[in-house]
Structure 1
Amino acid sequence: MAEQDAQTADQGAKVSGGVRPLTTALKTLELLNFFSNQSSPTRLADVARENGLSRATAYQRLITLVEAGWLDQDTNGAYRLTMFATRLAAAALEQADLGTRVEPVLGRLANRINETVSLAVIDRGLPCIVARVEVNTPLRAEQRIGTFLSLDGSASGRVLCAFAQEHALEHLRAGAHSLPSEETMQKVREDGFAVSSGYTHSGVIGLAVPVFDAHQKIVAAVSLVQPEGRFDLALTKAPMIEAATEISTLLQGTKDRK
């Protein structure tokens, strides 16, 4: 049997304030996650097979999502997400901006390594700090939210360039700012992190690791900047990578729901 009926499935549903969620609605919405991982429109038979559904059940859920505006069909009859999804994504970013969402993770990271940490994204062709959590260390680099960094010289810039998709990298190359050398970017890809040159801010060294979305596209970089005398890659690399992975999971919407 491809699936339980709604009454049986409801027995396993969570209860919130004495009210159970609509299991049929949850199962229909699960198809949105399926489509978010497809690179091209998908036909009914493939949707049914890959989700363990009968063709009739798959079709009912698909037309429900079509009627709600989430899916449409191409000229060959295959199903695909509509641009309605982008409207909700934009609204989500507006209602709870990236910095706000990741601040708790950055806070735990800062406390763990006792260093000020930041999150940077590409904005107008340069890395820009959009979130920051400070700790009271004797010496720290002053990089406020909204600070723009170097593509070539900063650790964040090197990570954001190294893991950028080719079309995004070409766009950056066409801009007015110097990019890291191909040798530098290749090393960053191999290492999975970047260390800054130190020449943009004398006496300090930066470390940055990538944050990816659900399609493994880089969206941000978690970074720290330390005085050279305090910099210790062995102590900070693992916590930084763990925090970046947690942020990636959060942004991908795959965090376990309790």
Structure 2
Amino acid sequence: MHIVTTGEGDASSPRTTRPLSTVLKALALLDFLADLDEPVRVSALARTVGASRGEVHRHLVTLEAAGWMEQLPDGSYRLTLRPAHLGHTALRQAGVGERTAPLLAEAARACGEVVSIAVLDADTARVVQRAEPGRALHATLLLGDRLGLRSSATGRLLYALADAETAGALARLGVPLPPEDDVALIRSTGWATSTDDAEDGIAAVAVPLCREDGRTVAALSVHGPRERITSTGALAVLRPLTRNIEPLLRLDGTAFGLRA
């Protein structure tokens, strides 16, 4: 429930206000569009999200007027770069980039691979901070990328170490999840690797970032070509980095610009 305060009355006793359903629908549409790799037509989008063509079109036109969407000559729609700007601003305000960038950059140079932080965001793991080693790489992992919970190291780790309520909700949604044997192993060792069935030749190793109470709130990972990534080498970089990062962050959901 979102609590909205007004300028009237005692600010310490906020009143509950119902959210605007049209705004919620438009924001949900933006979340959906963020997972698409190509522009989409109104009719196809309406069928996919289960809404009328007219309703979806009104949302798209509104988002276009606000600068969040653009319509292409063929009539399809795609996101502008405005959401990316908002995401970077949220991360900056949360202090994630400022606090972790020097440490991530140092670790990336030390291991020669991409080092990143990701959080559980709905049914995926989302990259919220990253650093490169300063040389050309064949492996790419971009800020804002979403990684699956079944095969990615960060996704597998975040699911395995999630609380029972979150894990149960993901299972009920039918999200592809790692096998129970893998989950048990991750919980036992405290780290995870990407699965061997990945076809892109990229591998990763991830460890948790935890609050003082032991709750995992993010995953810290090394990501690179499979022939260069070993669990021993990655853990030698990640474990000291974890000890340095955890005290610097206010480790709750809002520290990463996402709702808990």
- TM-score (norm. length: structure 2): 0.57
The change in CA–CA distance for 1:105 and 1:174 in structure 2 (over 3 A counts) is farther
Matches within 5 A, 1:26-65: none
SS in 2 for 1:180: coil
Selected match of 1:223 from 218, 221, 227: 221
Structure 2, unmatched stretches of 5+, are 1-11, 13-89, 252-260
Distance of 1:100 and 1:245 partners within structure 2: 17
**Kindly, what percent of the aligned residue pairs are identical?**
32
How far off its partner does 1:99 sit? 3.6
**Count of equivalent residues:** 163
Q: Match of 2:96, as an amino acid?
A: L
CA distance in 1, matches of 2:222, 2:250: 23
RMSD over aligned CA atoms reads 2.2
> How far has the Cα of 1:93 moved from its partner?
7.3
Q: Which amino acid aligns with 1:193?
A: W
Hey, what's the Cα distance between the residues in 2 that align with 1:140 and 1:206?
14
Asked if residue 151 in structure 1 is aligned to residue 149 in structure 2, the reply is yes
Deviates more, 1:191-200 or 1:141-150: 191-200
Write the mapping of 1:166-181 to structure 2, written as runs, cut at 5 A.
166-181=164-179
2:103 to 93, 105, 111: 105
Query: Are the aligned partners of 1:205 and 1:226 in contact in 2 as well (CA < 8 Å)?
Result: yes
Matched, 1:192 2:183: no
The corresponding residue for 1:209 is 207
TM-aligned CA deviation for residue 108 of structure 1: 1.7
> Aligned pair in 2 of structure 1 residues 107, 139: CA closer, same or farther (>3 Å)?
closer
Counterpart residue type for residue 162 of structure 1: A
In structure 2, the residue corresponding to 1:108 is in which secondary structure?
A: helix
- Residue 233 of structure 1 corresponds to 231
Q: Post-superposition shift, 1:174?
A: 2.5
Partner Cα separation in structure 2 for residue 228 and residue 200 of structure 1: 10
Deviation string for 1:176-195 (max 9, x for gaps)? 42111111011111111111
2:25 aligns with: none
Q: Distance in 1 between matches of 2:169 and 2:186?
A: 20
Cα distance in 2, alignment partners of residues 141 and 104 from structure 1: 21
Q: Counterparts of 2:97 and 2:124 in 1: how far apart (Å)?
A: 17
CA displacement 1:33-78 (0-9 Å, x = unmatched): xxxxxxxxxxxxxxxxxxxxxxxxxxxxxxxxxxxx8xxxxxxxxx
Shift, 1:216, TM fit: 1.2
- DSSP 3-state at the match of 1:179: coil
Cα pair 2:103 2:245 within 8 Å, conserved: yes
Give me the whole-angstrom Cα distance separating, in 2, the residues matched to 1:183 and 1:99: 35
Deviations 1:105-129 (A, max 9, x none): 2112112212111110011221000
The SS at the match of 2:236 is helix
Q: How many angstroms does 1:213 deviate by?
A: 1.3
Distance of aligned partners of 1:212 and 1:232 in 2 relative to their CA distance in 1, 3 Å threshold: same
CA, structure 1 residues 172+99, in 2 after alignment: closer, same or farther (shift >3 Å)?
Answer: farther
Conserved in 2, the CA contact under 8 Å of 1:127 and 1:150?
A: yes
Name the CA distance, whole Å, in 1 between partners of 2:217 and 2:117: 10
Q: Which runs of 5+ in 1 are unaligned?
A: 1-68, 70-91, 254-258
2:244 paired residue among 240, 243, 246? 246
State the Cα distance separating 1:97 from its structure 2 match.
Answer: 3.7
Q: Secondary structure at the match of 1:239?
A: helix
Residue matched to 2:119: 121
What corresponds to 1:47 in structure 2?
A: none
For residue 138 of structure 1, report the CA deviation from its aligned partner: 4.5
Q: Tell me: CA distance 1:221–1:103, structure 2 relative to 1, closer, same or farther (3 Å).
A: same
